[in-house]
Structure formats: structure tokens, C-alpha cells
Structure 1
Amino acid sequence: MRAVGLAGGCFIDACRAEGLEVWQEGFADRGYRADGSLVPRGLPGALLQDDSAMLAQAEDMALRQTVAAVNGLRIPARVDTLCLHGDGEHALRFARLLRERLEALGVEIRAD
């Protein structure tokens, strides 16, 4: 069994302590705080609405293992998998754009 959780989060640490395989998840369409947590929905910067912002964030996580927090600080984001939220109005377009960009960059895309 593999556990998936927010990259750098306490869930990841707890799962590792129990000997579980983990995948650290990054969110291509969510804003991050400087401590690596997600900006709560309803607050400014919680949801990325712009194609280029979402793509840049996903590219940073996939290739550079970093993400820009809403305060501008660049923080580590060592991710194994990327998530897009399906409940946003941009979800389908974001998914298509993200797949195209990652494939063009040579990033492996697979479903396990």
C-alpha cells in the first residue's frame, strides 16, 4: 500500500514512521504558505485561476522541487505526484494544459 499526502506534511512523517511507502503530493492549482501548508480556501491566493501561474507552479515542483509561497518566498516542494482539483471551473482546461506541458518537458506521466 502507498500513502499519498501533502509534501513535507506530518501525515508523510507518520506514515514513514509506520514503514509505509509514501508519495509526496504537490498541488498545481493551490497556493502555498511559507510553512509549506496550503492557503485555506476562501483566502486570497488559495486557488490559482491563471493558466500560466498554474503551469509555472507545476513546472517548479516537477523540475526544481520548489514552490513559490504567496509571500514570494521559494520553499522546498519535493513531490512525487501532482494534484489538480476537479471542483474548480478551470479543472479540465488545467488538466489538458498541464499534461501537454509536462510531456513537452519530458516529465513521466503515469497512473499507479
Structure 2
Amino acid sequence: MTGRDAPPGIDLNSDLGESFGRWQLGDDDAMLTLVSSANVACGFHAGDPGVMRRTCELAAERGVAVGAHVAYRDLAGFGRRFIDIAPQELTDDVLYQLGALDACARAAGTRVRYIKPHGALYNAIVHHDQQAAAVVEAVLRYNPQLPALGLPSSAWLRHADKAGLPIAHEAFADRAYTPEGTLVPRTEPGAVLHDPAEIAERCLAIALGAGVSAIDGSQVPLRADSLCVHGDSPGAVEIARAVAERLRGAAVPIRTFVA
């Protein structure tokens, strides 16, 4: 399920279902008219049972693939703080989140079709072998055919591939890259991009295999099956619409990466 094996076109995903109780974040309704895959929060960094169920219902209505956006147990920090958690505990936490979201998805007439870690967990398992292996173990115990979505060359995808899980490579529409191909930390200037036209051109270049310019101006080769537009970014809907229109205008189909 890598970029070179996939049919022409690219997936467009977004992090959704991140409201909690009376606190509303993002415009999921609008985003679900633009993306082909939805990374739905599973209640550990954001989301609650009602939000999870409603997001899955909207995704099912629009033919959007539902993915489990698993995270550290960190509601207060929105899952953006590293937690030095024991591998078995992390496996159990991920397994719990997969089961919870899949119950909501099945009640909505769909199912969890892939897994993508969130925030600090996503960044940690680019290099953290023990935690990467712990997340893979959870997937294997839940569904060994469930695709893993993540950063190319990450420990997460290496462990997933070695374990026989289908893997898919992700690139970020609105995040800056280091020369090594990792994401610039959000705490650094220029880490998040905001110009819809610039982001749309970057996405087209990635979809066509041209890679992306790093924050120092060097060129980073990227092989992507899926492009992520963050649902909680300012102007997220405008950015996602600009990306979708630019891709379609260049005859690049938008389609989910999962069967």
C-alpha cells in the first residue's frame, strides 16, 4: 500500500471529532465534504462518546473512511505532551481506543479502516522503538489487517511493516519539514503554514512526486499515499478546499488509501 503501488490519485485526510462536551473545535461537517479519510479522535486527547458517534455517522453518510486517531491519555494537553509510558500500558491504551471508536463506527454503519497516532505519540514513534512496537502490538491484537498511516521512514511504519501490517505514507499539507524529512516542532517559528494557495501548490507537488522544500530551503523527497490537512488549524476549511480544488484541477483524483 505504498505510493509506488497505489493507483493514480491521493488521499486527503484530516483530524476530526476533536470537540469535547460543550467545547467545539473545528468544522467537521464542512471538512467531511472535502476529505476522503477522517482521523477521528478516540477520547484520550479529544472527543467524547457523543462526538465520536456523530463524527462516524457523518463520515459514513459522505463515504469518508474512518481512521482511529489514537493518542496518549492527555486531555488537558490535547495529546501534545510526551508521556514516558510503559509499553504494555501503551498497548492497552491503544487497544481501548480502537475498540471504543470501532463500536461507534459500527453503530453508524461503517468501521475503523486504519489507524493513525496523534500529536506527541505520532512524533515520539518516529524514533522511539519501544513505543512504536507497543502501538503495533495493539493493532496486531485488534486486527492484523488494519492499515497503519504515518511518517515515511518512521519506527512506527518500520515495525508495522515488519509485523505484516499494511502501511501507508503520510505527508502534511500545512506543516513545515526539517531537512531530515521530519516535522518542525510546533514551538518553532514557521512550523505551521497558513496560506491556502501556497499549501495547495505544495500538496500538488507532493502528489506528483516532486517532494517538498524544507524549512532551510533544501528539497526533501516525499512519497505519500495521503495528505493531512489539520482540522483545528485557522482557516482549515478554506485550506482543505484550496487543496482539493488544486488537485482536481490538475486531474489528480482524491480517493481514500484503504480498500
TM range, normalised to the smaller chain? over 0.9
- Residue 75 of structure 1 and its aligned partner are, at CA, apart by 1.0
Task: Tell me, yes or no, if structure 1 residue 79 matches structure 2 residue 213.
Answer: no
Q: Which residue of 2 aligns with 1:33?
A: 178
Name the TM-score, length of structure 2 as normaliser. 0.42
Cα distance in structure 2, aligned partners of 1:102 and 1:42: 30
- Residue 35 of structure 1 and its aligned partner are, at CA, apart by 0.6
Name the TM-score, length of structure 1 as normaliser. 0.93
| Paired residues for 1:32-111 under 5 Å | 32-111=177-256
Give me the identity figure in percent: 38
- Residue 55 of structure 1 and its aligned partner are, at CA, apart by 1.3
- Residue 70 of structure 1 and its aligned partner are, at CA, apart by 0.3
Q: 2:166 aligns with which of 13, 18, 21?
A: 21
Counterpart amino acid of residue 243 in structure 2 = L
Provide Cα deviations, 1:23-66, integer angstroms capped at 9, x if missing partner.
Answer: 10000000000011100112112100112221121112111241
Q: Is 2:160–2:167's contact at 8 Å kept on the other side of the alignment?
A: yes
Determine which structure has the larger strand proportion and give its number.
Answer: 1
- Report the RMSD for the aligned CA atoms in angstroms: 1.2
Structure ID, larger Rg = 2
- Residue 76 of structure 1 and its aligned partner are, at CA, apart by 1.1
Q: How many residues are aligned here? A: 112
Cα distance in structure 1, aligned partners of 2:166 and 2:210: 19
- Which of structure 1's runs of 4+ aligned residues deviate more than 6 A? none
| Secondary structure, aligned partner of 1:64 | coil
